[in-house]
């Protein structure tokens, strides 16, 4: 049975191939998913590695959690299921009218 691992505190220079090679030393890797920023296209500093076996996942956690990699100490643990978030329907409300400046006494003559 495969086990999905969360990998955090990654260097922004890390690639999916780097993670594949790093984790493959501890067991067969099923997939690697490096999370990218949708605006800049750069890595966000975390990702997920799915190990093919529970033993491989446990070995990777024991060997890599807290260990330095490219100048940063990795966080490696079993991924939790994604929390369901309420659907968002856009931004917040705009509020009432209020004073928008300009003349307010339209009926008076000067």
Write the pLDDT tens digit of every residue in 40-87: 988 999 999 999 999 999 999 999 999 999 999 999 999 988 777 787
State how far the alpha carbon of 88 is from the alpha carbons of 17, 39, 91, in Å. Answer: 35, 20, 8
Write the pLDDT tens digit of every residue in 93-107: 555 555 556 566 666
Write the pLDDT tens digit of every residue in 32-53: 999 999 999 889 999 999 999 9
The structure's pTM equals 0.73
How far apart (Å, rounded) are the C-alpha atoms in residues 63 and 65?
A: 6
**pLDDT of the residue at 1:** 85
Six-digit token pair at 30?
């099923």
């Amino acid at each position: 049975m495969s086990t999905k691992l969360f990998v955090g505190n990654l260097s922004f220079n890390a690639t999916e191939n780097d993670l594949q090679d790093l984790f493959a030393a501890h067991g067969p890797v099923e997939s690697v998913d490096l999370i990218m920023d949708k605006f800049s296209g750069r890595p966000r500093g975390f990702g997920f590695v799915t190990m093919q076996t529970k033993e491989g996942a446990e070995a990777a956690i024991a060997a890599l959690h807290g260990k330095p990699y490219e100048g940063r100490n990795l966080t490696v643990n079993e991924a939790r299921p994604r929390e369901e978030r309420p659907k968002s329907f856009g931004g917040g409300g705009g509020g009432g009218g209020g004073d928008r400046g300009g003349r307010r006494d339209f009926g008076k003559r000067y």
